[in-house]
Amino acid sequence: MAEHELDARRLLCPMPVIRVQERIAKLESGDMLRVYCTDPGALLDIPAWCRVHGHRVLESGEHAGEVTLLIAVSGPAEDTH
């Protein structure tokens, strides 16, 4: 299990979600991904994408115009589909 970071600042919808999808595809089950965004829509879009794909958002918030999310990556064996 490792923690990774993704800087998606200054990207507009749908790019933060696409970057999360690309990065999670390279991670292992149990890894954590901390995402930094400036698109306020990411607070809704990324958790929705995570629910569909079986990943969990452990933390989310917005401070000073920056959105931060912490995602727990689930592997295919843990997928809800």
CB 80 within 8 A of CB 54: yes
Comparing CA positions, the residue from 36, 22, 32, 27 lying closest to residue 71 is 32
Helix (H, G, I), strand (E, B) or coil at 34: strand
**β-pair partners for 69:** 35, 60
Catalytic residue among 4, 9, 11, 13: 13
Which one-letter DSSP state was computed for residue 26?
A: T
Is 13 an active-site residue?
yes
Residues marked active site are found at: 13
